[in-house]
C-alpha cells in the first residue's frame, strides 16, 4: 500500500515538496496536490514588467504536477481533521490522507492608503504609470516602501534600482528616488557584508535610503510615517503586507501563521507538515519556502522507511538582485554557527544557475520544463557601454 501524501497549495513549497518526495519516496508515496489555482506563477519576474524587461512566467500546474508524479485537484482545502486524517475541500469533498503538507502561502493586502501598491503578480499598470510620469518629468520625487519587516523586501530595492536605470537611459537626471524602509540596514537579512554592499550601490546610484521607518499613509504629497514625521513625495510605491492563510484544524500562532518544528512538522499535530510563506518563520521567500519543503519531504520519506537521516531546517538566504545592469548575488546563513557568511558577488556563489528562486529540486526542474517551451521572460536588460558592471564588481565582496 502506498501512503497518500496530500500537498495543499500550488506554489514553490508545494512543487518542491512533491519533487523531493517523488525522488526520495518513489513508489512508497502517492502524491496529490490540492491547489486553489490551476497555474503556477513564477513571481520574481514581476519586478521587470513595469520596465518591459521581463514578463511573468506562468506554467500549467496540472502539467507540472504530472511531471512531479502527482495528481492535481483544483480545489481549496478549507479544513483539516487531524484525528480522522481527513481534509475537506471548498467543494465539500472529503480527502483522506496519511501525511499532509500545508503549503498554502500567504495572502496580500494593500497597507499604505494613497500609495500605489506593487502586487507582484496582479496588475502592474499603476506602477508603470508612476514610472512613465517620472520619465515624462511630470513628477520628480518618488518613494519606494514596504509596511513591515515581515515582507520580502528585495523587490522594493529592485523597483528603485530599475527605475533609476530606466530614468538614466532616458536622460532624466533630476529625479529624486528614496527608499523608506522599516529595516535597520538595506537587505539586512542577508547579513552585514551583503547589506553594506547594497548600501554602497544605492549611494552610487543616487538613491536615498531612510531606515527604521514605517509608512502609514500617503495623502496630498505627504507620506506619514512612524516614528512620527511626514515626508514629501510626488508618488509612493509600496509593497503589500503579507497576511496569514490558515484553515480550520491548524492552530496558528498569534500572528495567524502556522508554527512548525525543526523538521517542519506543525506543532501539536501528527503527520501534518507545513512549508513556505504560510509558516511563522519570519523570512517569507521562495528559496526559504523550498528549504522548508525539502526538510518536510525528508521527514516524511524517513517515516515511510526510506533509509535517510532527515535534515533539520538550517536556512540559508540566497537572492538575485536585478539592478538594471548586471545582476548581483546575495547570500547569508540565517542561523548562527556558520561564521561570517554574508556575501555580495557578481557570480552566484551557489550551484544551479542564476534564476531567482534558488531551490534544490525546483530550479533545475523548471529549467528542464523551460527547454523547448516558449520563454516569456528574461533577465533585466544590460546597458551597453564601457562602464557596464563596473560598480557591481567594485561592490562585490566575494568575487
Among residue numbers 11 through 30, which ones bind ligand FAD (CB under 6 A)? Answer: 11-14
Q: Is 10 in the site for ligand FAD (CB under 6 A)?
A: yes
CA–CA dist 3, 5 (Å, integer): 6
CA–CA dist 6, 95 (Å, integer): 8
| Cβ count near 388 (within 10 Å) | 12
Q: Is 343 in the site for ligand FAD (CB under 6 A)?
A: no
Q: Is 332 in the site for ligand FAD (CB under 6 A)?
A: no
349-369: burial string, b at 16+ Cβ within 10 Å, e else: eeeeeebbbbbbbbbebbeeb
- How would DSSP label each residue in 248-264? BTS-B-TTSPBPB-TT-
CA–CA dist 114, 237 (Å, integer): 9
Smaller CB separation from ligand FAD, 56 or 210:
56
- Name which position in 51, 59, 144, 152 contacts ligand FAD (CB under 6 A): 152
Least gap, CB of 369 to ligand FAD (angstroms): 16
Least gap, CB of 242 to ligand FAD (angstroms): 9
Least gap, CB of 216 to ligand FAD (angstroms): 22
- Name which position in 177, 357, 361, 362 contacts ligand FAD (CB under 6 A): 357
Least gap, CB of 185 to ligand FAD (angstroms): 19
Which residues on neighbouring strands pair with residue 80, listed in sequence order?
87
Smaller CB separation from ligand FAD, 231 or 328:
328
CA–CA dist 124, 290 (Å, integer): 26
- Name which position in 284, 296, 297, 332 contacts ligand FAD (CB under 6 A): 284
Stretch that binds ligand FAD, among 2-10, 20-28, 135-143, 331-339 (CB under 6 A): 2-10
Strand pairing category for 229-232 and 222-226: antiparallel
Among residue numbers 33 through 62, which ones bind ligand FAD (CB under 6 A)? Answer: 34-37, 43-44, 46-47
Least gap, CB of 289 to ligand FAD (angstroms): 4
Stretch that binds ligand FAD, among 99-107, 137-145, 168-176, 374-382 (CB under 6 A): 99-107
The most distant pair of C-alpha atoms in the chain lies apart, rounded to whole Å, by: 69
Residue 266 DSSP symbol: B
Q: Is 124 in the site for ligand FAD (CB under 6 A)?
A: no
Q: How many residues bind ligand FAD (CB under 6 A)?
A: 38
- Both ends of the chain: CA-CA distance in Å? 51
For residue 245, give Cα distances in angstroms to 253, 257, 266.
Answer: 12, 7, 14
* DSSP three-state, residue 41: strand
Stretch that binds ligand FAD, among 19-27, 103-111, 252-260, 261-269 (CB under 6 A): 103-111
Alpha helices, DSSP H only, in 5-81?
Answer: 12-25, 61-67
Q: Is 356 in the site for ligand FAD (CB under 6 A)?
A: yes
Q: Is 354 in the site for ligand FAD (CB under 6 A)?
A: no
Which residues on neighbouring strands pair with residue 73, listed in sequence order?
34
- Name which position in 7, 21, 77, 299 contacts ligand FAD (CB under 6 A): 77
Q: Is 80 in the site for ligand FAD (CB under 6 A)?
A: no
Q: Is 154 in the site for ligand FAD (CB under 6 A)?
A: yes
Q: Which three cell numbers stand for residue 188?
A: 539586512
Q: Which three cell numbers stand for residue 360?
A: 534544490
Contact by Cβ (8 Å): 236, 223: yes
- Name which position in 147, 286, 324, 332 contacts ligand FAD (CB under 6 A): 286
Least gap, CB of 250 to ligand FAD (angstroms): 10
Smaller CB separation from ligand FAD, 10 or 197:
10
Q: Which three cell numbers stand for residue 59?
A: 506554467
CA–CA dist 318, 44 (Å, integer): 13
Per-residue binding string, ligand FAD, 168-207, x by CB under 6 A, is ----------------------------------------
* DSSP three-state, residue 218: strand
Interacting residues with ligand FAD (CB under 6 A): 8-14, 34-37, 43-44, 46-47, 76-77, 103-105, 120, 152, 154-155, 245, 247, 276-278, 284-287, 289, 319-320, 356-357
Amino acid at each position: 500500500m502506498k501512503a497518500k501524501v496530500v500537498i495543499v497549495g500550488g506554489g514553490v513549497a508545494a512543487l518542491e515538496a512533491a519533487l523531493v518526495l517523488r525522488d526520495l519516496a518513489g513508489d512508497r508515496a502517492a502524491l496529490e496536490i490540492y491547489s486553489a489555482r490551476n497555474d503556477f506563477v513564477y513571481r520574481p519576474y514581476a519586478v521587470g514588467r513595469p520596465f518591459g524587461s521581463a514578463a511573468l512566467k506562468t506554467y500549467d500546474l496540472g502539467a507540472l504536477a504530472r511531471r512531479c508524479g502527482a495528481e492535481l485537484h483544483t480545489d481549496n482545502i478549507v479544513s483539516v481533521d487531524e484525528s480522522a486524517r481527513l481534509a475537506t475541500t471548498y467543494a465539500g469533498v472529503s480527502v483522506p490522507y496519511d501525511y499532509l503538507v500545508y503549503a498554502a502561502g500567504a495572502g496580500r493586502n494593500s497597507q499604505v492608503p494613497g500609495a500605489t501598491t506593487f502586487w507582484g503578480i496582479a496588475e502592474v499598470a499603476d506602477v508603470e504609470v508612476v514610472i512613465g510620469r517620472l520619465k515624462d518629468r511630470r513628477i520628480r520625487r518618488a518613494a519606494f516602501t514596504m509596511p513591515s519587516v515581515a515582507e520580502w523586501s528585495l523587490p522594493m530595492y529592485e523597483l528603485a534600482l530599475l527605475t533609476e536605470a530606466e530614468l538614466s537611459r532616458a536622460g532624466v537626471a533630476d529625479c529624486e528616488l528614496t527608499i523608506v524602509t522599516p529595516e535597520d540596514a538595506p537587505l539586512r537579512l542577508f547579513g552585514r557584508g551583503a547589506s553594506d554592499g547594497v548600501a554602497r550601490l544605492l549611494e552610487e546610484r543616487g538613491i536615498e535610503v531612510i531606515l527604521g521607518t514605517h509608512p502609514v499613509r500617503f495623502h496630498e504629497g505627504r507620506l506619514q510615517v512612524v516614528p512620527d514625521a511626514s515626508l514629501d513625495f510626488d508618488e509612493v510605491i509600496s509593497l503589500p503586507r503579507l497576511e496569514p492563510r490558515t484553515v480550520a484544524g491548524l492552530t496558528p500562532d498569534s500572528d495567524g501563521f502556522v508554527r512548525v518544528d525543526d523538521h517542519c512538522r506543525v506543532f501539536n499535530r501528527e503527520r501534518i507538515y507545513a512549508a513556505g510563506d504560510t509558516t511563522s518563520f519570519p523570512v517569507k521567500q521562495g528559496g526559504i519556502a523550498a528549504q522548508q519543503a525539502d526538510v518536510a519531504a525528508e521527514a516524511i520519506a524517513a517515516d515511510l522507511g526510506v533509509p535517510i537521516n532527515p535534515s533539520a531546517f538550517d536556512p540559508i538566504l540566497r537572492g538575485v538582485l536585478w539592478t538594471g545592469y548586471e545582476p548581483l548575488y546575495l547570500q547569508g546563513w540565517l542561523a548562527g554557527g556558520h561564521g561570517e557568511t554574508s556575501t555580495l558577488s557578481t557570480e552566484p556563489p551557489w550551484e544551479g544557475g542564476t534564476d531567482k528562486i534558488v531551490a534544490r529540486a525546483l530550479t533545475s526542474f523548471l529549467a528542464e520544463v523551460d527547454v523547448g517551451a516558449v520563454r516569456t521572460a528574461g533577465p533585466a536588460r544590460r546597458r551597453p557601454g564601457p562602464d557596464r558592471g563596473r560598480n557591481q564588481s567594485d561592490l562585490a565582496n566575494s568575487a
